Amino acid sequence: MPSPGAATGSVRRLGVLTGGGDCPGLNPVIRAVTRRAIQGGLTVIGIRNGWKGLVEANAAPLDLQSVSGILPKGGTILGTSRTNPYKRPEDHARVLETMRRLQLDAIIAIGGEDTLGVATRLAKEGVRIVGVPKTIDNDLAMTDFTFGFDTAVNIAMEAIDRLHTTAESHHRIMVAEVMGRHAGWIATYAGIAGGADVILIPEEPIDVEAVCELITQRHSRGKDFSIIVIAEGARLKDSAAVGTEEPRDEFGHVRLGGIGHLLGSLIEQRTGYETRVTVLGHLQRGGSPTAFDRILGTRFGVKAVELVLEGTFGVMVSLQGNRVVAVALEEGTSRLKTVDMELYNIAKIFFG
């Protein structure tokens, strides 16, 4: 028996899902997928809560009415989860069974490394899938940018601007912890845009002495306040990233957070300067997407459907330069994209 979605012939019923952490720009993709698919004569089925919706057969049709007005909305109207259908064999079987029952000929999976990792495995089993890369962390390989990143950077930049005025008034050190599990893209971009005095990222273990030295030097030239931006995944030299070991999600990730507070107390102890810590957390993921993210999401959604209509599967859409193209899903999920050190070296010119 052929695998669901591996059936020959053209696609008539298309499923769409969003998995992993939410991010601004998901709704523009869902809207674009639905509009372009309906225009192409397809029936669109919205799968609820990522892969969980296929495990639990939780899905409903999407029409023009369901996607009306969602372009500026943050989050995802489909809901999301971090369910990994490969964790339990019965879940994997249910995914295939639901596809059969709902007569889904193909799926557009919108997600990050984990969701698209599952898509890659299903594609290898013959399921007809097109991926759409998503993450505020911007750490997916084979695409210059993911939507959500620009919005997160703008939120973090505004926070850094606000921290500047209070830091200056109180002559304090302000540590701003931003998201970035494996890569410090948000920290680097927001730090450069906000004029941070030090930017710390997972790619370079932190030398606390060197950070304190930079701050002390600033003080000696009359700058008695400093802004330090740190990615949640950054770690001290010879230590692991800071977070809770349990609970882990179904893809084995620990919950990060806390490096900002640890660094803040070390700086205060060693320099004697009063220090405060702000953890931006999920504020970076909520709210309305920027124009850039709305447009990128729209372009990704349209391209994903066009790939389905022409019968190209096992690929994800990607931004290369200013062109949206298709790349093999496997290539996009086989490694992470860490911060470009040329850019980080530009940021370093402004340290201290």
Position closest to ligand F6P via CB: 179
- Choices 175-183, 188-196, 267-275, 312-320; region in contact with ligand F6P by CB under 6 A: 175-183
Least distance in angstroms from the C-beta of 180 to ligand F6P: 6
Beta carbon of residue 171, minimum distance to ligand F6P (angstroms, whole number): 31
Alpha helices in the chain (DSSP H): 26-39, 51-55, 89-101, 113-124, 149-170, 185-194, 208-220, 259-271, 291-310, 329-333, 341-349
Instruction: Name residues contacting ligand F6P, limited to 73-102 (CB under 6 A).
Output: none
187: tokens are 């920290």
Q: Which is nearer to ligand F6P, 31 or 181 (CB)?
A: 181
Query: Does 21 engage in binding with ligand F6P (CB under 6 A)?
Result: yes
> d(Cα 181, Cα 277) in Å, to the nearest integer?
19
Largest Cα–Cα distance of the chain, in whole Å?
Answer: 75
Nearest approach, Cβ of residue 46 and ligand F6P (Å): 21
- C-alpha distances (whole Å) from 99 to each of 93, 105, 208 are 10, 8, 52
For ligand F6P, the binding residue among 53, 75, 79, 180 (CB under 6 A) is: 180
What 280-283 contacts at long range (C-beta under 8 Å, 24+ apart), as own/partner pairs, is 280/155, 280/156, 280/159, 280/176, 280/177, 280/178, 280/179, 281/177, 281/179, 281/257, 283/155, 283/159
**Does 114 sit near ligand F6P (CB under 6 A)?**
no
Q: Is 137 a catalytic residue?
A: yes
Q: What is the DSSP letter of 176?
A: E
Positions 119 through 138 that interact with ligand F6P (CB under 6 A): 135-137
A 10 A CB-CB count for 200 gives 28
**CA separation (Å) from 276 to 126, 202, 207, 219?**
53, 21, 19, 17
Q: Of 137 and 197, which CB lies nearer to ligand F6P in the complex structure?
A: 137
179 binds ligand F6P (CB under 6 A): yes
Least distance in Å: CB of 235 to ligand F6P? 14
- Can you tell me which of 104, 159, 256, 277 binds ligand F6P, judged by CB under 6 A? 256
By the 10 Å C-beta count (0-12 exposed, 13-18 middle, 19+ buried), 143 is classed as buried
Does 280 participate in binding ligand F6P (rule CB under 6 A)? Answer: no
Q: 22, 91, 114, 137: which one is catalytic?
A: 137
337 binds ligand F6P (CB under 6 A): no
Binder to ligand F6P among 172, 181, 218, 303 (CB under 6 A)?
181
- Active site residues per annotation: 137
Residues at the interface with ligand F6P (CB under 6 A)? 21, 112, 135-137, 179-181, 232, 256, 285
